[in-house]
Structure 1
């Protein structure tokens, strides 16, 4: 399919990774990004071996990208009120999986990926408003009045995907009942933080704080999640907020957490939405990948990782199958089961993290602290090699 013209809508992690993977298969693509400059929503992202293996391996980005990520050394769970360490999972992660577990600023990752793709393959200020797939090619129209044609359109435009909405005819986003505050803090602002080299979850009833080191300087990205079960009344996915609201339920918790989340001001809170699984990710000449296909809440940190997996598998299928419909059908077959399991696990993980005090929380803590906790509950995510194996129903499970 070397003459295949591919239009990728969205210049985020998934779209840029797909462009690189397609190039390796001899397939040309153009990225159409609605922003006037490349910028990622959100401060940072954690990438696990199921994704980083492709950056350090077949995409040959290891030298460039390793300069801007931080290899985390452990996963730790704590009680947010007194800082008690509930569980620590620490082992030779890179030795086990052949690729690192890292934290990286989204903007730094995007710079590495966009430079590898080439700015001549990325068109900015292209906000998609329509797709006409009725002729012998797909015609994309943009808000600036311009248009483009392609044999295949890939919707890689994230959780708030315009391509998905155009395919469905409506917006099917579902509010999870939780919102979050985000921030990036330099190490000198959080001197009391224990185990700063680790990814850590600080848990208490109805809320949790996730944080991890990113970049060469070890800055920390925090994600403060609160659940109230009330409807999201705001028009968009982001609502104005302030530090008083951010600290309302956290001001008297463990000093290390208060220290960290007080170090930067938060003027916004982010609603956490997800989308129901689709029966198909393709219609006509249009296919969805990443959050556009299977947006999930971030409680397993797998949104970007599954987008990278999608990009690799779709490129492999398009590069090896001359039948475009068959290639996309096989892509969906390979990806549907795994992404649904991760979606489900991410949703239920919030219930686990936010358990009220009592027997079930005690049971959770015991399971987290068990010697086989990682193998039982997380290995299925991190060990998966998207270009070598198929997911099976036996893989994975929820915490409780």
Structure 2
């Protein structure tokens, strides 16, 4: 079997390296950073992503370093009142991104994957197969598709973690033109992600420092979150830009996965999960020597997931009468059929690429 070079040591790259190594391939990972340092943000792993982690042999370790999520609560941010509680069925986990990266990196090292840090990539390797897991500004995506022009969505996202404990669920406080997501990460930490609409754009990427006072100010009208926002000592800010799903994912020798192929906005918590799916299915496709079929199968699914995330972005930020009507409808559905809302996403969560 041909050796594989994976570019990027994030979730997509490390999970792909592990899946490929488990199938007997020689794999090296090239990472631009000098160390595998990740910001302390949180992730929600849904059953479609967990099935990949479990099939990679990482289920017990993921359970050890994460918290379960039993529900998603949608709340009125302006009053703090619960609008609807959606119970979750299956292995939903809440985890710090650094913890997931560490689990994947340790497993990859243990199986013999070579991880090379401090490797800036300006040209593609000339030998073997190449997997581009190099994110939003992917060198491999550009080689396959040329450049594209993402556009600013008019929204920015704040990220922070603070000391504290919360119930084992994800809470979304919805307000006019903004929403705030909070959930526990374990170890006495809580993850905060706030999205606000504004004309002033911010740099794309997770490593731009934000102003904690501006973060607090953006959500000062959310009374239930006040205590946690007051604990924010540092935060990251990034502008949300919409990129198209790549027109071309592979050419027989190179392939792109994760954000390199389909950048996903954080409104359905699926970026990491879709990357895990990509990694597993790509390893299968390389074994079958059928990358075109892999691309054809993956594109419709990720496109549907991205469209669903974009709908959430609109619904969380409603104003005026539409907001009043929508919240009333959610309350009614929650009282009559509490499982109806999460069941709308069974096509997403119940899909097991490892089956």
TM-score higher than 0.5 here? yes
1:89 match: 86
Aligned counterparts of 1:209 and 1:236: Cα–Cα separation in 2:
19
Alignment RMSD (CA, Å): 2.2
- C-alpha deviation, 1:358, in angstroms: 1.0
What CA deviation, in whole Å up to 9, does each residue of 1:14-59 have, x standing for no partner? Answer: 1111111112222221110000011235612110000112222x21
Whether contact under 8 Å (2:33, 2:119) holds in the other structure is: yes
1:33 match: 31
Identify which of 140, 144, 154 aligns with 1:177.
154
TM-score of the aligned structures, taking structure 1 as reference length: 0.81
Q: What stretches of structure 1 of length at least 5 have no aligned partner?
A: 95-99, 132-137, 140-149, 189-194, 389-400
- C-alpha deviation, 1:379, in angstroms: 1.9
2:68 match: 71
Whether contact under 8 Å (1:70, 1:218) holds in the other structure is: no
2:220 match: 251
1:354 match: 317
- C-alpha deviation, 1:378, in angstroms: 2.1
- C-alpha deviation, 1:338, in angstroms: 0.4
- C-alpha deviation, 1:274, in angstroms: 3.0
- C-alpha deviation, 1:180, in angstroms: 1.3
2:115 match: 122
What CA deviation, in whole Å up to 9, does each residue of 1:178-235 have, x standing for no partner? Answer: 11111112226xxxxxx622101000110000111113x352111011012x262658
After TM superposition, the runs of 4+ consecutive aligned structure 1 residues lying more than 6 A away are none
2:185 match: 214
Give the secondary structure class of the aligned counterpart of 1:159.
Answer: coil
Aligned counterparts of 1:318 and 1:302: Cα–Cα separation in 2:
24
Identify which of 11, 14, 17 aligns with 1:16.
14
Aligned counterparts of 2:203 and 2:51: Cα–Cα separation in 1:
39
Q: Are 2:272 and 1:304 equivalent residues in the alignment?
A: yes
Aligned counterparts of 1:120 and 1:302: Cα–Cα separation in 2:
26
What CA deviation, in whole Å up to 9, does each residue of 1:322-375 have, x standing for no partner? Answer: x4xxx1111111111000001111122110100102135423551465224334
Aligned counterparts of 1:200 and 1:236: Cα–Cα separation in 2:
24
1:272 match: 240
Whether contact under 8 Å (1:88, 1:369) holds in the other structure is: no
Whether contact under 8 Å (1:181, 1:266) holds in the other structure is: no
TM-score of the aligned structures, taking structure 2 as reference length: 0.91
Aligned counterparts of 1:272 and 1:249: Cα–Cα separation in 2:
16
Identify which of 136, 142, 150 aligns with 1:165.
142
Whether contact under 8 Å (1:282, 1:288) holds in the other structure is: yes
Whether contact under 8 Å (1:183, 1:261) holds in the other structure is: no
Relative contact order, higher structure (CA 8 A, sep 6+):
2
Whether contact under 8 Å (1:182, 1:222) holds in the other structure is: yes
- Check 1:369–1:270 CA distance in 2 against 1; reply closer, same or farther (3 A cut): farther
- C-alpha deviation, 1:266, in angstroms: 3.3
Identify which of 348, 351, 355 aligns with 1:381.
348
- C-alpha deviation, 1:9, in angstroms: 0.3
